[in-house]
Structure 1
Amino acid sequence: MAIHPQLPNAITVARIPLAVVFFVLLLVGGSFGDPHLGVRLAAAILFIIAISTDWVDGYLARKHGIVSDFGKLWDPIADKLLTGSAFVGLAILGEIPWWMVVVILVREWGITLHRLIVRREHVVAAAWMGKVKTAVQGVALSWALLPMDVVVGFLPWLVITAVLMWIVVILTIASGIDYVVAQARGARASS
C-alpha cells in the first residue's frame, strides 16, 4: 500500500506542538507527590506517544523510499524540542539535576545549530551513535516521567532514574564527540 510522500514529514512536524502540550501538562501535573498525578500520567503517556513517532516517521520514509532533506533536518529538531522540554521540565520539578540538563542541551542544540548552518552545503543526517543516544534518552525520560515510584518504590525508582540519566549523559557526550570527529574528517576529505 502506497502512502502519501509527505506523511513522514507531517508526523515529524506534529511532534513540535506535541512537545509544547506535553511540557505544559508536565508542569501542571507536577512532581509525584503533587495532587495532579493524573495530569502527570497524561504528560508521560503523551511523551511516550510523541517520542514513538520518531521511529514511525523514519520507518515509513525508509520503507517507502521517501527520505527527504526536510525530514533529515527537521526530525532531529523535533526530537530535541520534545526531549529538551522533558529534561527542562524534570529539572524544574527538581527530579533531575540541572547540570545534567545543561550538558545534554548544550550538546543537542550545538549540533542542531551546526546542522542549520551547514544545511546549504549538505544535510547532516543523524549518525548511528546519535540514534542510539536518542533511543536511550526516550527510554530514560519515559521511565522518569511515569509514576513508577508507585510500582517499584521511591528509592528504587530514584536509583534507576539516576543510573539511566548518567547513561544518557555519557552517550550524549560520546555521540557529540563522534559527531564533531566525523564532521572534521568530512571537512578534511572535501578540501
Structure 2
Amino acid sequence: MTGVPASAAGGPSPAGATGKVSAVGTTGKANPTGASKAGAARPAGADQGAEGDARPVRGGKIAAAAVNQASVWNIANLLTMLRLLLVPAFVMLMLADGGYDPAWRSFAWAAFAIAMITDLFDGHLARAYDLVTDFGKIADPIADKAIMGAALICLSALGDLPWWVTGVILGRELGITLLRFIVIRYGVIPASRGGKLKTLTQGVAVGMYILALTGWLATLRWWVMAAAVVLTVVTGLDYVRQAIVLRRQGIAERRAALEETEA
C-alpha cells in the first residue's frame, strides 16, 4: 500500500527509525526532536498554556523578584539594629559615675568596639548574600554616624577632646551625606579607599580616647586623632571635587540628549 510506512502496516520498521520518530503531532507530522510538545521538558519559569505548548509565565520576573526580595529580618539588618541599640548603651556607660571611672570607660570602649566591628560586616554580608533592603540603606549610615557622633560629643563634653575636632569630623560627615543626596540625580559618588582609611583611623583614634590611657599611649592617641582629622578634611574635599565633576558631566549629558531630541 503506497504512502504507508512498513511499521504502520505491521511490517518491520527500518533500522534506526524507532527513536528517531518518537512522536506524531496533531497534523500527522513526525517530531524529529524525539519528544512531543505536550511532553517536552519545560524551561525554568515556564508554564503550560491552554494549547499544551510551553510558554513563559508573564509574571515570572515579578515572582522571582518577590522570592529574591530579602527579608528585613536578615543578619545584615540585625547587625545594624544592634549598632543602633548600642548607641544609648554606650552613652550611659561613657557617662556613668561622672564619666571618668576607668572601669566604666572600658565597658564603653567594648560597646564602641562592637559597634565598629559590626559596621565592617553588615554591609559586606548584605552585598555578598543579596540581603540589601531599603531599611538597611537608610539605617546603616544613620547607625554609623550615630555611634561616632555620640562618642565624639561625649568626649568633648568630658573635656577629653577639643570641640573643634568634634565639629570638623561631624561637619564633614553630615556635609558629605547631604552632598550625596544633592548629586544623586546625576549619579552615585563611590566610596574611596581614602574614605575607608579615614573611617578606620577615626575608629581607632576615638577608641583610644575612650579608654583611660596615660603615658606614651596618651601621646600616641593624640597623633592618631591628628591623622584622622587630616584624612577627614582631605577625603571631604575629594568628595566635593567628585560631586562637582559628576554634576558637570550629568548636566552636559542632559544638554546633549536634549539637543539630540530637538534635532
TM-score (norm 1): 0.82
**Secondary structure, in 3 states, of the residue corresponding to 1:94?**
coil
Q: Indicate how the Cα distance of structure 1 residues 30 and 123 shifts in structure 2: closer, same or farther if over 3 A, else same.
A: farther
Backbone CA RMSD of aligned residues: 2.3
Please report how far the alpha carbon of residue 19 of structure 1 lies from its aligned counterpart in structure 2 after TM superposition: 1.4
Q: Indicate how the Cα distance of structure 1 residues 121 and 188 shifts in structure 2: closer, same or farther if over 3 A, else same.
A: closer
Larger fraction in helix:
1
Give the equivalent residue in structure 1 for 2:103: 38
Task: Tell me which amino acid in the other structure corresponds to 1:165.
Answer: M
Q: How many matched pairs?
A: 180
Q: Distance in 2 between matches of 1:77 and 1:143?
A: 23
Which one of the candidate residues 119, 123, 128 is aligned to 1:54? Answer: 119
Q: Indicate how the Cα distance of structure 1 residues 125 and 24 shifts in structure 2: closer, same or farther if over 3 A, else same.
A: farther
Q: Whose Rg is larger?
A: 2
User: Does structure 1 residue 77 correspond to structure 2 residue 136?
Assistant: no
Q: Indicate how the Cα distance of structure 1 residues 84 and 12 shifts in structure 2: closer, same or farther if over 3 A, else same.
A: same
Which one of the candidate residues 95, 99, 103 is aligned to 1:27? Answer: 95
Q: Indicate how the Cα distance of structure 1 residues 182 and 117 shifts in structure 2: closer, same or farther if over 3 A, else same.
A: closer
Which one of the candidate residues 119, 136, 157 is aligned to 2:217? Answer: 157
Please report how far the alpha carbon of residue 132 of structure 1 lies from its aligned counterpart in structure 2 after TM superposition: 1.6
TM-score (norm 2): 0.61
Task: Tell me which amino acid in the other structure corresponds to 2:165.
Answer: M
Q: Distance in 2 between matches of 1:18 and 1:30?
A: 20
Asked whether the 8 Å contact 1:23–1:43 carries over to 2, the reply is yes
- Structure possessing the higher relative contact order (Cα contacts under 8 Å, 6 or more residues apart): 1
Runs of 5+ unmatched residues, structure 1: none
Give the equivalent residue in structure 2 for 1:146: 211
**What percentage of aligned pairs have identical amino acids?**
40
Runs of 5+ unmatched residues, structure 2: 1-69, 252-263
